[in-house]
Amino acid sequence: MATASFDTARRGTGAASEQSQPGLAPAIEKTPEIRPEALETTGPSSLVGLTREALKARLAAIGVPEREQRMRAGQLWHWINVRGASSFDEMTNVSKVLKGQLAGIHTLDRPEVVSEQVSRDGTRKWLIRMPPTGRHDHNRGAEIECVYIPANDRGTLCVSSQVGCTLTCSFCHTGTQRLVRNLSCQEIVSQLVVARDRLGDWPGKTPPKGAFVPVDGSRFVSNIVFMGMGEPLYNVDNVIDAVGVMSDHEGLGLSRRRITVSTSGVVPQFERLGLEANAMLAISLHAVRDDLRNELVPLNRKYPIRDLLQACRDYPGVSNARRITFEYVMLKGVNDSDADARELVRLLKGIPAKINLIPFNPWPGSKYECSDWERIERFSEIVFNAGYASPVRTPRGRDILAACGQLKSETEKLRARARMMLEEGIGAEGVYAGAHDDD
């Protein structure tokens, strides 16, 4: 299904997506290194993260009669997505014969957690390695980052949708990474399963020492945001399927109103996302003028602010109860003036919206600085006085490069020595000490 997404990503871009010569505008998009049709599953495959239909197809492939497939799939679904089973032996109401058939060609394996870092504020970042999908992976598998952000009233998991990112936003660390490929639905959902494993967020499981424990007894992971690596709407097929699995009330059980898909503005996919996923929408806006947004978010050259905001007004289900979130990173002397704040208010008139003001999270090599705190407060005051909620997002996980805009998979940026340290289990302090050495 991902093939259509990649075709959509390139359609209509023309030469603009390939520009890289000095003096020309930066590329809008990157071409994936791995064509999805070239992916080949190797070895036993995991059942974790599959859709219901995909799970039924696995049962059909091993000869389970059609009349039994729905029931058997329901049993497996419960053990995988409600109980968090990691072995077929745990499935007490599944026959020994079926468990033996499944164990011969399938597993309940999760992606490998290569490293875990815990911030001073309780944020956790995992470097996750997916199983190899073909010869191009060199027996290593793709690596992505996933972040858990605890709070008193919720636990938010920030998931990735691509290996790397299609886009080239100039202020975003992840945007400097090459695009390898889309993540499958299974790989997206597996990030939630890994988080629940690591947090003890399954019935009867014990959380690790120091883990955030909700005071009201609710699930540790209550919210999902597609704000990790990648542009979700350039992988819209798999993102929609993943939202369906995550929100299944007989499985992982998250509310669709607690699942937010953040996009830089892939306008043609808005309607489909709203109708098929019924997820909350967040827009990476960051500028109120096309000339500036063309620089910060080059995708704006394809879908300018006027078209983007009209698509927001037309988003299925948008209302005061289902507001669109507009993300606005605060860049010193770039987009943080009083005039910018007033223009932001004018542009959003008539759209049920809230505005998240995000202090810029610095990363090595960036040309931008974070706005002064007084300037952020003044900007927020103008927006708030116009009737919009305008919380200033508290930076979380900055000390482990887990904050907004900082994600970039470690093997993309670490030199060989640091990678070896990572592989051998040396702690995060040792890895990051060598993270920015010259290659």
Tens-digit pLDDT profile for residues 73-97:
999 999 999 999 999 999 999 999 9
Which parts are annotated binding residues for S-adenosyl-L-methionine? Answer: 230-231, 262, 284-286, 361
Tokens 């223009």 found at: 343
d(CA 409, CA 431): 13
Which parts are annotated binding residues? Answer: 165, 169, 172, 230-231, 262, 284-286, 361
CATH for 112-414, options being 3.20.20.70, 3.40.250.10, 3.20.20.60, 3.30.530.20:
3.20.20.70
- Annotate 85-114 with b (16+ C-beta within 10 A) or e (fewer): bbebeebeebeeebbebbeeebbbebbeeb
Tokens 């909350």 found at: 280
Q: What is the pLDDT of residue 366?
A: 85
d(CA 32, CA 182): 8
pLDDT tens string for the chain (439 positions)? 333 344 434 333 333 344 444 455 668 888 777 654 445 555 789 999 999 999 999 999 999 999 999 999 999 999 999 999 999 999 999 999 999 999 989 999 999 999 999 888 888 999 999 987 766 555 567 899 999 998 878 899 999 999 988 888 888 877 777 888 899 999 999 999 999 999 999 998 887 676 665 555 567 899 999 999 999 999 999 999 999 999 999 999 999 999 999 999 999 999 999 999 999 999 999 999 999 999 999 999 999 999 999 999 999 999 999 999 999 999 999 999 999 999 999 999 999 999 999 999 888 888 999 999 999 999 999 999 999 988 887 666 556 554 444 444 444 433 333 333 333 333 322 222 222 333 3
Which parts are annotated binding residues for [4Fe-4S] cluster? Answer: 165, 169, 172
The pTM (predicted TM-score) of the whole model is 0.83
Tens-digit pLDDT profile for residues 29-60:
887 776 544 455 557 899 999 999 999 999 99
Question: Would you say 327 and 282 are in contact if contact means Cβ atoms under 8 Å apart?
Answer: yes
- C-alpha triplet 290, 296, 286: angle, nearest 5°: 75
Q: What is the pLDDT of residue 413?
A: 39
Tens-digit pLDDT profile for residues 357-399:
999 988 888 899 999 999 999 999 999 999 998 888 766 655 6
Architecture of domain 45-107: Orthogonal Bundle (1.10)
Per-domain residue ranges of the chain: 45-107, 112-414
Active centre residues (catalytic): 145, 404
